[in-house]
Structure 1
Amino acid sequence: MTESSMSRLEHGPRRGETIIMLHGNNAGSWMWEPQTDRLPDRHVLTPDLPALGERYREPWPGMAGAADDIAEIIREHALDGTAHVVGLSLGGVVATHLAHRHPGLVRSCMITGAPLAGLTRLERLLIPPQLPLWRQRWYWRAQAMAFGIPADARDVFVDSAVRVAPETNRETYREVAAGIPEGLIAYPGPLLAIAGEKEQRSVRDAFPTLRRRAPQLQSWIAPGMHHPWNVEDPDLFTDVIREFVDTGRWTPADRRPQASDAPGGPAAQR
């Protein structure tokens, strides 16, 4: 990635700790605009993955190659050469490989919508016949509606999706369907995996597999959310990022102590 293209994808002041956000398949760095707008005080990198976004003319290098590509961006552009990593869908799978291959570059890792244990049998039956349709605008317009993507973001979503090369679609599908290799992941830092309540079951089904390999894993089901919920509820998504980056943990509102539970509160006075 050139310096000129990287400058468009670097946001906020060059101070503090860097957050790098990895987008989903058939998408690009544009999908993180709701977050960069809400994190003006943070140093954020939103690179395009190889073969996707504005890099759609490049060949797909495989998950390991994509992770190495992002590792080089972190070394060159992140503050102190390290970053908090946020990955959605395919970006979440790449983030997992990144944390395994380059753990010293990763301060924390938050992944969402990533079927890390592979796709279900039903998904393996239904998705391959759809791959030729991934170059059709009508297909992605329908997906945008199903995903809950706001109307003002649908055109750029469709534009990004239809220009991805067929071979990239085939290869990324093959790797995602297979799941992460045995032995991945050897990352000891803060790790958060999230599934939207309304997305495919294979995402949440990956939690036990990931927890066996990374016992420190925290997991959460985002209530009412579809797959790209960073645009569906950008405030909540950004709140999760901010708290996890700052504390290494995420505590949903329904699990937080109520005022009546605090020391000296009404509950203590009864």
Structure 2
Amino acid sequence: MPTIFHLSLDPQPPNPKAPTLILLHGLLSSHLEWSLVIPHLQPHYHLLLVDLPGHSRSSSLLPPYTISSMADQVASVIQSHARSGKAHVVGMSMGGFITLSLARRYPSLCLSAFVSGATPFEGVTRWLATNSWILYYGFRLSNMVITDWMYDWMCRMIGMKEHRELRREILGNVKWEVIRDVYGSIVEEFTMEQMAEVDEVRCLSVAGEKQDQVEVTRRVGQVWKERGLSGRLGSRAFVVREAVHAWDLQFPEVFAGGIRSWVEREDLPGEFEVLE
């Protein structure tokens, strides 16, 4: 029976005491999303990279591709392959929602949580998520129209680094079942009230100023503060100015620095501005 693809990278130089970080990519992406971040993390941590169900090397896994079902499969990877069966969990976009689901439903497996671009959908974002066929055909159309050189130019305009190999994988990961299940489950599983249920794991929620829901991220931080989670656990919300949604491909060193600071319980880099 097919299982979720994972890649294990030991710290360099080797360090048997280094904790595990598991990195969860965004929708339609793959573990290659982290290629620019890895060099800044591997000297310090044991890294687990996965292709989430329905994506790239995990494409053969059968639906459903809901956030909760993917979190169940990531939990198995942590239990089987993380050092001491626990990990610091990092998630971008869809991977961030999976991270939050893990922290809520499998808190004993999560040493901490770092999520970016993963807040309850509101306004137009929520409307599009409830009409995910529009997004599906939008992805399909853009893939047909936008050539590689156009894509590279668009990325340069917003400061994203070149990622040709990842781009090829993204093109192959556009599947109706994945888009339908992911967006549908985010709408159902993530409200402000449910964000407050992430109450046993220290969690950082980050918004990229240019494309993410900054005010919604601010309210997530306020909910955590009102429920006492900021005081008890240290859970907080931040924004990174000038960052796009996939800013792990824009500012990889800053992204990695934020992860390290959060894991080590140090002050976050100056690019992180607290939302209160």
- Measured against the shorter chain, the TM-score band is 0.7 to 0.9
Q: Which range moved further: 51-60 or 137-146? A: 137-146
What SS does the aligned partner of 1:47 have?
A: strand
The structure that has the greater radius of gyration is 1
Distance 1:129 1:59, change over 3 A: same
2:245 to 221, 227, 233: 227
TM-score by length of 1: 0.80
TM-score by length of 2: 0.79
Q: Which residue of 2 aligns with 1:236?
A: 254
Q: Which residue of 1 aligns with 2:136?
A: 131
2:163 to 149, 153, 171: 153
1:36-84 CA distances to partner (integer Å, 9 max, x unpaired)?
1222221111111111231123234321111111111111111111111
Distance 1:59 1:204, change over 3 A: farther
Q: Which residue of 2 aligns with 1:43?
A: 46
Q: Which residue of 2 aligns with 1:262?
A: none
Q: Shift of the alpha carbon at 1:169?
A: 1.1
What SS does the aligned partner of 2:88 have?
A: strand
Q: Which range moved further: 133-142 or 173-182? A: 133-142
1:205 aligns with 2:207: no
Distance 1:99 1:4, change over 3 A: closer
Q: Which residue of 2 aligns with 1:54?
A: 57
RMSD: 3.1
Residue 130 of structure 1 aligns with an amino acid whose one-letter code is L
Q: Which residue of 2 aligns with 1:18?
A: 20
Determine the C-alpha separation between the residues in 1 that align with 2:4 and 2:105.
27
1:70 aligns with 2:74: yes
Q: Which range moved further: 87-96 or 156-165? A: 156-165
Counterparts of 1:113-124 in structure 2, within 5 Å, are: 113-114=117-118, 116-121=119-124, 124=127
Determine the C-alpha separation between the residues in 2 that align with 1:84 and 1:118.
25
1:108 aligns with 2:112: yes
Distance 1:50 1:139, change over 3 A: farther
Q: What runs of 5+ residues in structure 2 fail to find an aligned partner?
A: none
Determine the C-alpha separation between the residues in 2 that align with 1:151 and 1:16.
29
Do the aligned partners of 1:135 and 1:162 also contact (CA within 8 Å) in 2?
A: no
Distance 1:85 1:156, change over 3 A: same
Determine the C-alpha separation between the residues in 1 that align with 2:41 and 2:30.
19
Do the aligned partners of 2:160 and 2:247 also contact (CA within 8 Å) in 1?
A: no
Q: Shift of the alpha carbon at 1:162?
A: 3.5
Distance 1:250 1:139, change over 3 A: farther
2:173 to 153, 163, 172: 163
Determine the C-alpha separation between the residues in 2 that align with 1:97 and 1:239.
24
Q: What runs of 5+ residues in structure 1 fail to find an aligned partner?
A: 256-270
What SS does the aligned partner of 2:163 have?
A: helix
Q: How many residues align?
A: 253
Determine the C-alpha separation between the residues in 2 that align with 1:120 and 1:168.
22
Do the aligned partners of 2:5 and 2:51 also contact (CA within 8 Å) in 1?
A: no
Q: Shift of the alpha carbon at 1:252?
A: 2.7
What SS does the aligned partner of 1:195 have?
A: strand
Q: Which residue of 2 aligns with 1:265?
A: none
Do the aligned partners of 1:21 and 1:85 also contact (CA within 8 Å) in 2?
A: yes
Distance 1:57 1:121, change over 3 A: same
Residue 71 of structure 1 aligns with an amino acid whose one-letter code is A
Q: Shift of the alpha carbon at 1:158?
A: 4.1
